């Protein structure tokens, strides 16, 4: 992913691997991630995937706190691509 520009779309193989990497131990996190992937997986860019992977490196409880807005991104996590993905993940369904 690093050799491609941030705005390049992910290919189908990269989308599939990303979906597998996003599996979580807490059901609540899985619900956020699944909703996000259902909406955006087909149109994810390299930069968005990078931001998502940063979030997936967090422990489950820290990730859930971010999803629920109990905490905000700080330090090394406070990057534009991570903020963008987190904002998309926090957006509720419109239907």
Q: What is the pLDDT of residues 33-49, one digit of tens each?
A: 999 999 999 999 999 99
Q: Structure tokens of 27? A: 């059901």
Q: Please choose, from the candidates 40, 42, 31, the residue with its C-alpha nearest in 3D space to the C-alpha of residue 85.
A: 40
CA distances from 18 to 41, 54, 78, 82 (A): 9, 12, 21, 15
Residue 1 has pLDDT above 50, yes or no: no
What pLDDT score does 95 carry? 59
What pLDDT score does 25 carry? 85
What pLDDT score does 3 carry? 60
Residue 77 has pLDDT above 80, yes or no: yes
The mean pLDDT of 68-94, rounded to a whole number, is 93
Torsion sign across C-alpha atoms 45, 17, 55, 88: positive
């Amino acid at each position: 992913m690093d050799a491609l520009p941030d705005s390049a779309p992910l290919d189908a193989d990269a989308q599939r691997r990303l979906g597998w990497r996003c599996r979580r131990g807490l059901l609540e996190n899985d619900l956020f991630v699944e909703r996000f992937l259902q909406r955006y997986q087909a149109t994810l860019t390299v930069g968005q995937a990078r931001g998502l992977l940063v979030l997936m490196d967090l422990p489950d409880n820290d990730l859930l706190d971010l999803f629920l807005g109990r905490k905000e991104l700080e330090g090394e996590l406070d990057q534009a691509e991570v903020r963008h993905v987190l904002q998309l993940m926090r957006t509720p369904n419109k239907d």
